[in-house]
Amino acid sequence: MPNETITAESFNERPKALAALRAEIAAGRTKAADLAAQYYERIEKLNPRLNVYLSLTKERAFEQAARIDAMAAKGDPLPPLAGIPVGVKDVLVTQGAPSTAGSKILQGYRPPYDCTAVARLEAAGAVLLGKTNCDEFAMGSSNENSAYGPVRNPVDPERVPGGSSGGSAAAVAANLAVATLGTDTGGSIRQPASFCGVVGVLPTYGRVSRYGLIAFASSLDRIGPLAANVHDAATLLSVIAGHDPCDATSSTAPVPDFAAESDKPAAGLRIGVPAEYFAEGLDPEVRAAVEKGIAALEAAGCIIKPIALPHTKYAVPTYYLVATAEASANLARFDGVRYGYRSPNSSTLSGMYSHSRDEGFGAEVKRRIFLGTYALSAGYYDAYYLKAQQVRRLLAEEFLRAFAEVDAIVTPTSPFPAFKLGEKTGDPLAMYLADIYTVTASLAGICGVSVPCGATRTGLPVGMQVLARPMGESTAFRVARAVEAAGI
């Protein structure tokens, strides 16, 4: 695709394959320390324009790189991510290193412990370059809600990278990391992955421990990888997945070698195509690209079946009630007492709470706390929160019934490609509707992958969303690989 027509600037560059880089490091042809230094050089050059990283963890990165280089020099067996430069979304806490969640209320906060997923990446040899920008507390679909300024899309810097894991997606798309971690509550990994032309994974609820994820909506929040290709994303998922005693909802299911699973052919898999995801409101160029992807799956030997998911239209309203209710409870912890911002403008305890929160939270976070508090308040609980939880069950059951007949479901990830900065900021409801194809899987607890699937005429990336049953990531990866291999 002629990306040069969009911008003369050379932001849009994909990293090398993870396995190739690791082999270079293992053979001593590339030093992990040199690789980290090269990435920091590129970050220094591009970050002022793209605003991908909120903070860098150089000391930590070079310590780890030195450890890997020493192991390689001795000929020790290297762990799976040895020397691979990664970034992680700033909602994942890192011991002693800034962790702001994109919010002013956590400016200067240095957490006393590490998020399990980040610790597992580093235990597997990854080099943590820094913390990536995101919408405040992961609330947003464009990264414009970050208290530290928006991220720009490396494909076209006048456009948003998507959100809320916009920094994590843009980091991969601009080769400012080989792979990253994001979080997905209603589409926050998949949608930015599709806007930036990279792979993003929504693991099954419980597949990856949430310990150390600054909570937004606990029954929806998931941590997952973003990478330049399916194989690399699958490699990261195997590293971060698995039970963690620190998260009681994390699954004890065995963790497959997802990269190896993704190598298996997709031929013979039954692929459902739900009409509801191709209805009014879908950009015709996005539709055309995804239809090409479906044709490629058919050519690869998959069996394409039309299916119906009639409750789809209720997903966005259900999501915004469940997510905001849980957010209003989770964000109660930011009160200026134990960590984070405390307003100096108060002489009483209750005044200190409300001043700290008022001065610390941005407009979208306040709006969601208001909506969630209202939905949970006396007299409204049954009408809003309980009703939404009931509809949530209908949505989940509808997916489980569909997965009795098909192995995977494919849809567009987003109804439109990346939009311009400022285009939707004035209308919160219009922004919420951007999540229409992604919130369903979030509510149902199932897993999925967004994989690049062509582009519009002007070169804006299109993503195909591949959904699979709970703990069915292997199937989703196989289908995504087939789409990737087709080179649409």
Partner 1 sequence: MSERVTVEDVQRVAELAHLELAPEETGPMVRDLNAILDYVAELNELDTSNVLPLAQMSEVTGDGISALRADRVAPSLNRAVVMQQAPETDQAFFKVPKVIER
> For residues 266-285, which are near partner 1 according to CB under 8 A?
none
* Amino acid (1-letter code) at residue 260: A
State the angle between helix axes of 230-240 and 116-123 in degrees (0 to 180), rounded to the nearest 10: 110
Is residue 373 part of the contact set for partner 1 (CB under 8 A)?
yes
Is residue 308 part of the contact set for partner 1 (CB under 8 A)?
no
Six-digit token pair at 54? 């909120």
Question: Is 188 annotated as catalytic?
Answer: yes
Structural contact between residues 68 and 83, judged by C-beta atoms closer than 8 angstroms: yes
The correct pick among 321, 439, 460, 483 for binding partner 1 (CB under 8 A) is 321
Six-digit token pair at 136? 């405040």
DSSP class of residue 382 equals I
Is residue 370 part of the contact set for partner 1 (CB under 8 A)?
yes
Closer residue to partner 1 (CB): 62 or 374? 374
Structural contact between residues 183 and 92, judged by C-beta atoms closer than 8 angstroms: yes
CA dist 236 and 14 (Å) reads: 17
Which of the residues 116 through 155 are near partner 1 (CB under 8 A)?
none
Is residue 45 part of the contact set for partner 1 (CB under 8 A)?
no
Six-digit token pair at 306? 């039309």
The correct pick among 45, 49, 313, 457 for binding partner 1 (CB under 8 A) is 313
Closer residue to partner 1 (CB): 159 or 368? 368
Sheet holding 270-274, edge to edge: 53-56, 127-132, 85-89, 179-184, 222-227, 199-202, 447-455, 461-468, 408-412, 270-274, 303-307
- Rounded to a whole number of angstroms, the minimum distance from the CB of residue 355 to partner 1 is 7
The two counts, helices (H) then strands (E), for the chain are 16, 11
The correct pick among 72, 369, 410, 483 for binding partner 1 (CB under 8 A) is 369
Is residue 328 part of the contact set for partner 1 (CB under 8 A)?
yes
Closer residue to partner 1 (CB): 79 or 242? 242
Question: Is 209 annotated as catalytic?
Answer: no
Structural contact between residues 190 and 438, judged by C-beta atoms closer than 8 angstroms: yes
Which of the residues 209 through 248 are near partner 1 (CB under 8 A)?
219, 243, 245, 248
Which of the residues 176 through 215 are near partner 1 (CB under 8 A)?
204-206
Strand partners, 199: 227
Structural contact between residues 217 and 330, judged by C-beta atoms closer than 8 angstroms: yes
Is residue 381 part of the contact set for partner 1 (CB under 8 A)?
no
CA dist 377 and 79 (Å) reads: 50
- Rounded to a whole number of angstroms, the minimum distance from the CB of residue 314 to partner 1 is 6
Is residue 317 part of the contact set for partner 1 (CB under 8 A)?
yes
Closer residue to partner 1 (CB): 11 or 258? 258
Six-digit token pair at 36? 């980290």
* Amino acid (1-letter code) at residue 308: A
CA dist 417 and 440 (Å) reads: 19
Question: Is 89 annotated as catalytic?
Answer: yes
Which of the residues 412 through 471 are near partner 1 (CB under 8 A)?
428-429, 432, 444-446, 470-471
- Rounded to a whole number of angstroms, the minimum distance from the CB of residue 213 to partner 1 is 15
Six-digit token pair at 369? 């706390």
Is residue 18 part of the contact set for partner 1 (CB under 8 A)?
no
Is residue 309 part of the contact set for partner 1 (CB under 8 A)?
no
Closer residue to partner 1 (CB): 62 or 314? 314
Is residue 338 part of the contact set for partner 1 (CB under 8 A)?
yes
Closer residue to partner 1 (CB): 175 or 188? 188
Annotated catalytic residue, options 103, 188, 356, 442:
188
Burial class, 206, CB count within 10 angstroms (exposed 0-12 / middle 13-18 / buried 19+) = buried
Annotated catalytic residue, options 31, 89, 131, 424:
89
Strand partners, 184: 222
Binding-site size for partner 1 (CB under 8 A) equals 75
Is residue 390 part of the contact set for partner 1 (CB under 8 A)?
yes
Which positions are catalytic?
89, 164, 188
